[in-house]
Structure 1
Amino acid sequence: MNIAIVSTGSDYDDPVGDKILHSPYIWILNHETFQYDVLRNPLALESEMQNNFNFIMLMIRNKISSVLVKKCEPDLKMLLTIHGIHVVESTAGEVGEVVDRIRSISLGDTHIIPVNEIISENETQNTLQDQHLNKFNHAV
């Protein structure tokens, strides 16, 4: 499975996007090889309803397991969750920093994204941390 990181630009030093639908780029990161593709987000030009549907389909086609963003639109978050795609909000920093953090915490064949290491230090996401730990415990 892959990880999607929404971004304001296509460079490694561009910041993570504030919202999915307003971010012009989507980084598709293979969390095993750390190879990535940067896609333009053509969905920002469409109506919100069509945009949500097309974004979900793009995530499914690219086998995305998690989407990293500062703040996800509530309707889109619900749709992603329904389709089994985990949304990690409060992701902060440059895309390159986020990729490096993910790479540094990869453990063998198990790739874990500790939310507290991806989100900004000022934010807390206890619910997401609990979900992450429950998912990890069930996998082991």
Structure 2
Amino acid sequence: MIDEKLFYKYQRIDDHDSNHTIDNLIKNQFYFSDPTLFNDPFDCRVYYTYRGKEEDWVDLLANAGIDPTSVIKDGILNSDKVFLEKEGDLFTYTPKSTDYYDRDEPFLHGDILKKNLPRVCCFSETDDNILMWSHYTD
């Protein structure tokens, strides 16, 4: 006899049903979420680190929607290492090390790009977790 183990999925059902809960139940399929949209801001947080030229950092900040003047004064970065946070993502700048990094490209820690993050489907071994019920019930 095979030991069967049950897994539970805590998931809200609402009018918008953006994760297609009912449709997934009918079709016996799962919805895989974008991990950057989890209700815990520290789950799957994306860390971006750029090692390169200071002037390229300005473009990287602008593309991320961050005002470069918040860290750059008189054309000079305020410190050797800069940390910025925007919408839960952490951006860091480390000046280019000429002995190792000879390419002018961003290095992203964690996953390559936010849009390329894997999708996630979460389950629980318990069906009576009060904290989980409080997150997913109205």
Rg larger in 1 or in 2? Answer: 2
Q: Which has the higher helix share?
A: 1
TM-score scaled by length of structure 1: 0.20
Give the TM-score taking structure 2 as reference length.
0.20
